[in-house]
Amino acid sequence: MLNTNLKHLKTEEEAKTVLENNENVMVCCGRMGPMCIPVYGIMEQLEDEYSHVAFRDQSFDIPAADFIKNLPECSSFMGLPLTVYFKNGKVTAATSSIQTKEQVKEILDKAFGDSSQNNVQQNPKRSIVQ
């Protein structure tokens, strides 16, 4: 398990559930290394601002990470972390390697809408217990 304050995806079932119960999902799949840790930190910083997005991390080295590793959008990636943005269960963006806060926000705004406009919008299917 990764040592972050994010919610972790440890099983395929958890991944499936979070995608089914949340309209907007950002998953960062990596390790506790120098390219990944900054992205986890950025995600932690943005959780309140982007309350309409479910932020999750996932260890690259567990079997359940195959759902990220095997995505066509990630097939050419060579670096960690693999960061994938899902809208209604479909991939809308994917990146690899370190990202700045500005780069992450740009993708979030493009994929899920500007945080200032969506802060009060919640997916009615979103479960209370996650």
Return phi, psi of residue 43, to 5°.
Answer: -60, -45
- The segments of the chain whose pLDDT lies below 70 read 116-130
Structural domain span for residue 97:
7-111
**pTM, two decimal places:** 0.88
Output the CA angle 34-35-38, nearest 5 degrees: 85
- Residue 17 CB neighbours (<10 A): 14
At residue 118, the pLDDT reads 54
What is the CATH number for 16? 3.40.30.10
At residue 117, the pLDDT reads 61
Q: Is 23 a domain residue? A: yes
At residue 114, the pLDDT reads 81
Q: Is 128 a domain residue? A: no
Total tally of structural domains belonging to the chain: 1
At residue 1, the pLDDT reads 81
